[in-house]
Amino acid sequence: MPKERILVVDDEQNARSALRTILAEEGYEIREAVNGEEALSLLSEFAPDLVLCDVRMPKMDGLTLLRTAKAQGSEAVFVMMTAYAAVETAVEAMRAGAENYLVKPIEVTAALLFIEKALEKKGLSREAGLLRERVRERYRLDGMVGEAPEMQAVYELVRQAALTRATVLVLGESGTGKELIAQALHEQSPRKDKPFIKVACAALSETLLESELFGHEKGSFTGAAGRREGRFELADGGTLFLDEIGEMPHSMQVKLLRALQQREFERVGGTQTIKVDVRVVAATNRDLVAEVKDGRFREDLYYRLNVVSVTLPPLRRRKGDIPALVSLFVEKYGKSYGKELRGLAPGTMNALLAHDWPGNVRELENAIERAVVLAKGPELTADDLPPSLRGPRPASRDSSSLVPGATMEQIEREAILRTLEFASGSTTRAAEILGISVRKIQYRLKEFGAEKAT
């Protein structure tokens, strides 16, 4: 990981060397220039990430340097330094595209914080762009977010199964994304231009369910006014999604089995045999194997449905995907409620990560929607989250075993390494979780690496 580069531009020798010492200690690579002209030639040669620039200088002043650099398309972030008396000039510089300004005499801690923030912002927007690309290419499947290994295995399976007509059984707890998978199976299949028809098996009485699936002839039962096509017919050429198949009454299971085996059926009250070409996807949050054992679900139907089975992991087993899901929902609900949101306030992500999410992605989505509605500022805070998430966090066993007895350095190291592991190696996510900068993590990692080498 290359060091971030900072160009210090000031006509005062003392100011430059003080800054150089402090910044070099922080791990930045530093170059100096005594005026705007000199700085301008270093912009292309040194390609600084950030320019720390005095406003008043002989030859070319800071404002002119800033304007010229921006006009030349420099991507460097500018932080201006100005005397208290010249704050107006600094404000003008902000208008000209400077990121921020520092008032002289410069207060070291504040300056470092400023610089780090400015660099982070630059780095993050670049990284976010890259991340989005990656997500689109590999980890996303028609609106599904999550790059946990278990999810990638699911995507792979869906991509393969989508090409066939094989019946797919989608398993997983409530809110894990079973319906999204059913839709993805359709969208990725050669049937995507034909209908995707859903039947909520749990919502209907037995009689209604039969007529819903297979249709009925006029007057075939009380309330059956005209002739009606069933969902199997409507789905012809496309995909039929049987949601909550575990709730289907026993007698219906027999009829469904026949339709699946022969791809033909009769309407309720009808004699004509209807043939259809339908790909069936069924889903349930029940444990079908146990249902079969207990005699509530027909074994033959179970095997018929279970040609390919896709099991979605509960969210608590892939917490590393929480930050990406949160971004997705913040963006989605920010848009729909017309709120310009920057993201999460420090600490909020920790609360989200500490929760076990029994309602899985749906519960997370609802929590974020609620937070977006309640948010008063540009950031979602822990106070905007549902009360169940705000309780005291149980101390983690692992970290408590380090304390007392470990040095702060060891604890920091442990915290960084474990969080990185948890975030599948993403420094951006780890930084978000730990509430420190990406740069700091990268810097520390380099140190750890150097330690190992010696």
Ligand X SMILES: Nc1ncnc2c1ncn2[C@@H]1O[C@H](COP(=O)(O)OP(=O)(O)OP(=O)(O)O)[C@@H](O)[C@H]1O
Q: Which residues bind ligand X (CB under 6 A)?
A: 144-146, 172, 174-180, 285, 325, 328, 361-362, 365
Per rule CB under 5 A, is residue 291 in the interface with Mg ion?
A: no
Choose from ligand X, Mg ion, none: what does 288 bind? Cβ within 5-8 Å by kind: none
CB of 229 to Mg ion, least distance (A): 24
Nearby residues of 14 by Cβ (< 8 Å), 6 or more positions away: none
CB of 443 to ligand X, least distance (A): 33
Report the residue number, 217 or 244, with the smaller CB distance to Mg ion.
244
Strands 100-104 and 196-200: unpaired
Number of residues that bind Mg ion (CB under 5 A): 1
Distance CA 105, CA 81 (A): 9
Q: Between 11 and 179, whose beta carbon lies closer to Mg ion?
A: 179
Footprint of Mg ion on residues 147-186 (CB under 5 A)? 179
Nearer to Mg ion by Cβ, of 8 and 181: the residue is 181
Residue 175 CB, nearest approach to ligand X (Å):
5
**Is cis: bond before 105, omega within 30 of 0?**
yes
**Residue 285, phi then psi, degrees to nearest 5:** -100, 5
Nearer to Mg ion, 245 or 375 (CB): 245
| Beta-carbon count within 10 A of 435 CB | 10
Nearest distance from residue 365's CB to ligand X, in Å?
5
Residues 6+ apart with CB under 8 A from 156: none
**Which residue from 319, 323, 329, 324 is spatially nearest to 366, judged by alpha carbons?**
329
Tell me how far, at minimum, the Cβ of 402 lies from ligand X, in Å.
34
Shortest Å distance, C-beta 144 to ligand X: 4
Instruction: Report the residue number, 54 or 365, with the smaller CB distance to ligand X.
Output: 365
Instruction: Determine phi and psi for 200, rounding to 5 degrees.
Output: -90, 95
By beta-carbon distance, which residue lies closest to Mg ion? 179
Where do the DSSP E strands lie in 249-389? 264-266, 273-275, 279-284, 308-311, 343-344, 379-380
Query: Is 6 or 315 the residue whose CB approaches ligand X more closely?
Result: 315
Give the burial class of 130: count Cβ atoms within 10 A of its Cβ; 0-12 exposed, 13-18 middle, 19 or more buried. Answer: exposed
**Binding region for Mg ion (CB under 5 A):** 179
